[in-house]
């Protein structure tokens, strides 16, 4: 009976260790997938449709907040807002790729990442694994959510949000730094 208790205890400790290390293992898989340009490995750890949808909602809300006053009195304001939303959707669809994630993980600002991605068109050399998530800080937000904060050169941080799905973790959101209007 004591052996069964010991085996059960060791199994529970191993399971808890695996669950606690889960987000770190997922991040390592994402980094390896980016470096090796392995789409299958990335799609296993990045929920691209959810990530795109979350980014679109974030950017569209920010765009509407910034332009609401200007478009309120304009008779073509609704049309302009619709066009802007369509433009944001296209940019996000083009940006949320393995190369786009790699640039943000290297500490580039998202706007710089879009330009670099357009210029390199995914044909440039892969980033070095040690350059990804350099100077990042990690934190559990809850038992099923984990965040990685990556600073850029100006000290602003981009937040990568991973969510637990059973025993595995997937990247589901990218919270961009709020630009201060100058």
Q: Which pLDDT tens digit goes with each residue over 44-60?
A: 899 988 998 998 888 88
pLDDT of residue 146: 96
**Could you give the angle at which helices 98-105 and 2-35 cross, rounded to 10 degrees?**
100
Number of domains in the chain: 1
Tell whether 182 is covered by a domain.
Answer: no
Tell whether 181 is covered by a domain.
Answer: no
pLDDT of residue 117: 46
Instruction: Provide the domain limits for residue 33.
Output: 2-175
- For residues 136-161, average pLDDT: 90
Tell whether 130 is covered by a domain.
Answer: yes
Tokens of 120: 């390199």
Could you report how far apart the first and last alpha carbons of the chain are, in Å?
70
* CA geometry: angle 119, 154, 34, nearest 5 deg: 45
Tell whether 75 is covered by a domain.
Answer: yes
pLDDT in tens, 90-147: 878 777 777 777 777 777 765 554 544 444 444 556 667 676 777 889 999 998 999 9
To the question of pTM greater than 0.75 for the whole model, the response is no
Tokens of 118: 């357009």
Tell whether 159 is covered by a domain.
Answer: yes
**Could you give the angle at which helices 110-120 and 77-95 cross, rounded to 10 degrees?**
60
pLDDT of residue 162: 95
Q: Is the pLDDT at 156 greater than 70, yes or no?
A: yes
Tell whether 58 is covered by a domain.
Answer: yes
Tokens of 13: 């400790």
- In total, the chain counts a number of residues equal to 182
Provide long-range contacts, Cβ within 8 A and 24+ apart, for 31-37. 31/105, 31/129, 31/132, 31/133, 32/129, 33/98, 34/98, 34/99, 34/101, 34/102, 34/105, 34/126, 34/127, 34/132, 35/126, 35/127, 35/128, 35/129, 35/132, 36/126, 37/98, 37/126
């Amino acid at each position: 009976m004591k052996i069964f208790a010991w085996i059960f205890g060791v199994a529970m400790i191993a399971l808890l260790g695996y669950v606690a290390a889960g987000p770190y293992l997922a991040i390592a898989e994402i980094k390896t997938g980016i470096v090796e340009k392995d789409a299958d490995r990335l799609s296993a750890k990045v929920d691209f449709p959810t990530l795109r949808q979350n980014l679109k909602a974030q950017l569209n809300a920010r765009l509407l907040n910034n332009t609401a006053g200007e478009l309120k009195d304009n008779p073509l304001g609704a049309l302009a807002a619709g066009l802007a939303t369509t433009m944001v959707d296209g940019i996000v669809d083009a940006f949320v790729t393995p190369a786009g994630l790699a640039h943000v993980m290297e500490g580039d600002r998202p706007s710089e990442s879009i330009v670099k991605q357009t210029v390199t068109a995914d044909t440039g050399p892969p980033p070095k694994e040690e350059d990804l998530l350099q100077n990042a800080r990690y934190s559990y937000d809850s038992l099923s959510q984990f965040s990685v904060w990556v600073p850029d050169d100006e000290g602003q941080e981009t937040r990568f949000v991973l969510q637990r799905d059973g025993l595995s973790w997937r990247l589901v959101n990218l919270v961009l730094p709020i630009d201060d209007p100058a």
